[in-house]
Amino acid sequence: MIGVIVKKTERLVAAEFFELFKTPWEFYQEGSSYDVIVTTGAPPSGVGDTAQIVYSSDTLPGDRSLRVFHPGSSPHWLDATDYSMPLYGRLTVFEARPHSTALVYSAGQKAGLCTRESGRGIVRIGYDLFGEVERLLVHGQPPEQAGRPALEQHIHLLRSLILSLGIPLVEVPPTPHGYTMTACLTHDVDFVGIKDHGFNHTIQGFLHRALFGSVRRLMRRELTLRQTMTNWAAALSLPLVHLGLRRDFWREFDRYGELERGHPSTYYFIPYKNRPGRNVSLPHPERRAAAYDLGAVQADIQAIRRRGGEAALHGIDAWLDPSSARDERQRLASETGAACTGHRSHWLCFNTQSPLVLDEAGFDYDSTCGYNETVGFKAGTCQVFRPLGVRRLLELPMQLQDVALFYPTSLGLSPAAAWREMTKILDTIADFGGVAAILWHTRSLSPERLWDEPYIKLIDELERRGAWFGAAASVTEWFRARRQLKLTRDAISTERVRVHIEGPSFQPGCTLRVHIPIPSHGAWGVVRQYDVPWSGEAEVQIDLMAHTAREKKIRLPGAPSLSREEAPIS
Ligand SMILES: [Zn+2]
């Protein structure tokens, strides 16, 4: 059990951090015994020989002999374990005293030290853990650092520090048991039929890209000759589509159903036609208005629901105030005849108050946390989290979207380069656990985009990697159930684990992961990792001898970094 001591102002964010870590912890109570104390200030007297991990960029009373100094402006880069991670707040580095081991470096300077005092380890880390986490959850990372799962790296560092002190851990990873990750397929319905658009800017753009852009893509080998012909044929058939003599080639809800082969997905529908919304600070705000009415997609929504999918709100003004949010939610519910629990803001318009607004309007989850211009981890995590200060709302961060990958005004990647980017993101999610939340716009299978092949390849890859597929509402409910688990009274030895778990059992179930550090010398520590399914019992006893461990070699904090050739394979 970890005892946590933080300032009053840090309690909310500390609680969210440990909700994501999901290991036995509580705010420090005098008289209770802990395996390790994590604190952001000087620990109280009377903690005996308990190991301590102290995070702070302030100079603390115990630092007097350390000679602290603050290097220049952020972001700082921290070289801690197997990852290099960004820090957006203040950093303190130390000049080591004798008998201390440097654990963490920043630009060659020591940003974390471990000393041993009468047998117990005291770790001093020179940044504000919960300040960093708050910044990530509230403001997110700049697009340049999108590829860094910074929040997951903070969890990884704390886990590694605890293990390097020789303390075992049990936790509930953010992925259902038996799966490597969760896949959440989502579609923003910005457009429905090409017929809805007459000859407005959308159609002018379509014709230009279909007739001329296709040639450029053909020359760059990003389109085949057949695809180019498909785009030309689509452009030339437009009058026939308007006359009702040809199928409207932008309406492809059913095709998504076929490609997804029974995996549920979530569609975000815009509640009102011809409303661009208020306070939009992106260029051409008038273009944010949708050209379709919900009445025209009733049958599509019924079909989506029949195949296990979800219809949720693609909000216009819902991000701004509770009455707009309530009105848009009710409009979707009354037009579709089913409750609407989820939201993603059209064009990803959002501000720091939006989670509170959506929470007050009764939404269960939001999935706006993502980038328009790139792909990656805006909040530094691929886990569903609770925005600070809300009562019920959960946030499902979105990492991968088609327009950001392919549009020339965003990343503008070729199919091959986009695939490399997508697999990098999936590798990271597989490493840390969590959700690959994917946004493929409903129009993207059709001419002139023709981004169907990368989407099919992505679904194949997610299946190959052993992902659990869930619609956004189911995925967030899985995390809500995991949040309800309360792990206490753990006792872990190399042979046996005992832990008390309060909370509901749910499907797909979760894993109890036990980490047993094995004393070793040298740069690489060995951790035995046991994954055991949890079947809902409150008093869990695990005989580790009856389970097979994965021996993971991890680079413990403080170990010199090895070249790739030297690094053992985990
Ligand atoms: Zn949209």
The pLDDT value recorded for residue 557 is 59
| d(CA 461, ligand 1 centre) in Å | 26
Mean pLDDT across the chain, nearest whole number?
91
| d(CA 270, ligand 1 centre) in Å | 8
The pLDDT value recorded for residue 65 is 65
CA proximity to 266, closest of 165, 324, 183: 183
| d(CA 41, ligand 1 centre) in Å | 45
Q: Residue 542, CB half-sphere, CA atoms under 13 Å: how many? A: 28
| d(CA 534, ligand 1 centre) in Å | 39
| d(CA 419, ligand 1 centre) in Å | 23
| d(CA 233, ligand 1 centre) in Å | 27
% of the chain surpassing 70 pLDDT = 94
**What are the pLDDT digits (tens) for 50-80?**
999 999 999 888 776 666 667 777 788 998 7
Cα 4 vs. chain centroid, distance in angstroms? 25
| d(CA 345, ligand 1 centre) in Å | 7
| d(CA 180, ligand 1 centre) in Å | 30
Q: What is the ipTM of this complex?
A: 0.99
| d(CA 390, ligand 1 centre) in Å | 24
Tokens for 269, please give them.
């529908």
The pLDDT value recorded for residue 121 is 86
Q: Which residues pair with 515 in a beta bridge?
A: 169, 529
pLDDT of 236 strictly over 50? yes
Cα 15 vs. chain centroid, distance in angstroms? 18
| d(CA 75, ligand 1 centre) in Å | 31
Q: How confident is the model at residue 556 (pLDDT cuts 50, 70, 90)?
A: low
**What are the pLDDT digits (tens) for 85-99?**
999 999 988 886 777
The pLDDT value recorded for residue 524 is 60
Q: How buried is 243 (Cβ within 10 angstroms: 0-12 exposed, 13-18 middle, 19+ buried)?
A: exposed
| d(CA 37, ligand 1 centre) in Å | 45
| d(CA 362, ligand 1 centre) in Å | 21
* CATH architecture for segment(s) 2-167: 3-Layer(aba) Sandwich (3.40)
Q: Residue 32, CB half-sphere, CA atoms under 13 Å: how many? A: 16
| d(CA 344, ligand 1 centre) in Å | 8
| d(CA 401, ligand 1 centre) in Å | 11
pLDDT of 133 strictly over 50? yes
| d(CA 268, ligand 1 centre) in Å | 8
pLDDT of 300 strictly over 90? yes
3-state SS track over 292-334: CCHHHHHHHHHHHHHCCCEEEEEECCCCCCHHHHHHHHHHHHH
Three-class SS state of 437: strand
**Do residues 446 and 250 make contact, with C-beta atoms less than 8 angstroms apart?**
yes
Three-class SS state of 336: helix
| d(CA 281, ligand 1 centre) in Å | 15
pLDDT of 521 strictly over 70? no
| d(CA 356, ligand 1 centre) in Å | 21
Three-class SS state of 376: coil
Q: How confident is the model at residue 297 (pLDDT cuts 50, 70, 90)?
A: very high
Span 28-44, mean pLDDT? 91
Fold identical between 2-167 and 181-193+250-479? no
| d(CA 279, ligand 1 centre) in Å | 16
Span 403-407, mean pLDDT? 96
The pLDDT value recorded for residue 566 is 34
% of the chain surpassing 90 pLDDT = 75
The pLDDT value recorded for residue 555 is 63
pLDDT of 421 strictly over 90? yes
| d(CA 290, ligand 1 centre) in Å | 9
**Do residues 535 and 505 make contact, with C-beta atoms less than 8 angstroms apart?**
yes
**What are the pLDDT digits (tens) for 191-235?**
999 988 888 888 999 999 999 999 999 999 999 999 999 999 999
Residues 514 and 530: their CA atoms lie apart, in Å, by 5
**Do residues 529 and 522 make contact, with C-beta atoms less than 8 angstroms apart?**
no
The pLDDT value recorded for residue 415 is 93
Span 20-42, mean pLDDT? 94
| d(CA 452, ligand 1 centre) in Å | 19
Q: How confident is the model at residue 569 (pLDDT cuts 50, 70, 90)?
A: very low
| d(CA 264, ligand 1 centre) in Å | 20
| d(CA 482, ligand 1 centre) in Å | 30
| d(CA 191, ligand 1 centre) in Å | 9
The pLDDT value recorded for residue 518 is 83
Which of 158-167, 282-291, 342-351, 516-525 shows the lowest mean pLDDT across its residues? Answer: 516-525
| d(CA 373, ligand 1 centre) in Å | 14
| d(CA 202, ligand 1 centre) in Å | 14
Q: How confident is the model at residue 27 (pLDDT cuts 50, 70, 90)?
A: very high
Kindly list the domain boundaries of the chain, sorted by start residue. Answer: 2-167, 181-193+250-479, 196-246, 485-555
| d(CA 440, ligand 1 centre) in Å | 11
| d(CA 347, ligand 1 centre) in Å | 5
| d(CA 403, ligand 1 centre) in Å | 11
| d(CA 372, ligand 1 centre) in Å | 10
| d(CA 389, ligand 1 centre) in Å | 26
Q: Residue 265, CB half-sphere, CA atoms under 13 Å: how many? A: 29
| d(CA 188, ligand 1 centre) in Å | 5
| d(CA 272, ligand 1 centre) in Å | 13
| d(CA 311, ligand 1 centre) in Å | 14
| d(CA 223, ligand 1 centre) in Å | 25
CATH of domain 181-193+250-479: 3.20.20.370
The pLDDT value recorded for residue 262 is 94
CA proximity to 14, closest of 294, 306, 25: 25
The pLDDT value recorded for residue 94 is 87
